[in-house]
Amino acid sequence: PGLTEKSSQIVEPWDRLFEILSIVAMRCEWQMDKGNRTCAEILHRMKDLCRYINSFDEENHRKYKNQVVYSTMLVFFKNAFYYVSNIQPSLFQASSPSNNQPPLILLDDLSNIYGDVEIDRSKHIHKRRKLADGREKTQSSDDEECSGKGRNRHIVMNKSDLPNSIDVLESFKTARESWELLHSLEALEKEFIRICMSWKTEMWLWLRIFITDMIIYQGQYRKAINSLHQLAVLQGAQQHALSQATLDQQRALIQMAACHFALGEYRMTCDKVLDVMCTVVPCLQETGKSQEEIPKAKSKFRR
């Protein structure tokens, strides 16, 4: 008859995955520390290994490349999942009134935008940026203008909104650093992309939410807007309760408005803010207004 729902559940799945990783490490003769290690400690060990990975011969390079990719990848997914499951728990819970916690939204402090150095946005330039392994990558001026902001930025979170805010922010930091390590060397990046393609991670809504927040944190607003559009497509393709779908839509629109504002695109900012207002204003039928009042409400809104 197969497994029942209860018997098919895995207790502490992330811990089990790390146990499997330890077994694989022993059989593959990886350089692994004995005993249990936190995600931050594992990530630190992988960063150290990356410093001299290119000095290995071909066989050892392949072996330790796999160690870095799979270890860092597991750290990344665990921490990204923990972050999203806390800021948007409705994605992982059954729909019920007790689980309708509004999602938390990562936004730039727009009061600091005016303090930034003004940039001539008509001058769209590209330049080459050196990566860790000596490769060069074309970088757009849209990203360059804010590239420095992605370092050591401070996130403020109200503890009354999220009691475990310290753990959530630490998970966001660890996941972000894991992502950066996986893209720091061409060999690591190619293997990570290959695995993600085989797993179809582009269809994982929770992962797109994390990536979008990470891009916003880095201050790459143009790239963040593109990611938010991808997020909207994923949200439309997956089934949601109506109330939660509205909250998800509001979250994306608010982030999009903030990104346009940071880019100096104030008309688009206003458009997105008005879109948010349309989802917030109660339905006219629920407020008991007659049909004759509807044209007046529309014309007043347009002004």
Structure tokens at 165: 């805010």
CA-closest candidate to residue 30, choices 74, 71, 77, 75: 71
Q: Which of these, 228, 227, 206, 224, lies nearest to 216 by C-alpha position?
A: 224
- Stated pTM of the model: 0.78
Q: Whose structure tokens read 């650093």?
A: 177
Q: Are 133 and 186 in contact (CB under 8 A)?
A: yes
Task: Return the domain boundaries, the chain.
Answer: 11-91+162-200, 219-280
> Cβ distance 217 to 152 under 8 Å?
no
Tens digits of residue pLDDT in 248-296: 788 899 999 999 999 999 999 999 999 988 887 665 445 555 455 544 4
| CA end-to-end distance (rounded Å), the chain | 64
Residues 219 and 165: their CA atoms lie apart, in Å, by: 22
Q: pLDDT by residue (tens digit) across 45-79?
A: 999 999 988 888 888 889 999 999 999 999 999 99
Rounded Cα gap, residues 132 and 47, in angstroms: 12
Tens-binned pLDDT, residue by residue, of the chain (303 aa): 455 556 557 788 899 999 999 999 999 988 877 667 899 999 999 999 999 888 888 888 899 999 999 999 999 999 999 999 999 888 876 544 445 577 889 988 877 665 543 444 444 444 444 444 455 444 444 444 444 455 567 888 877 888 888 999 999 999 999 999 999 999 999 999 999 999 999 999 999 999 999 999 999 999 999 999 999 888 877 756 556 667 778 889 999 999 999 999 999 999 999 998 888 766 544 555 545 554 444 444 343
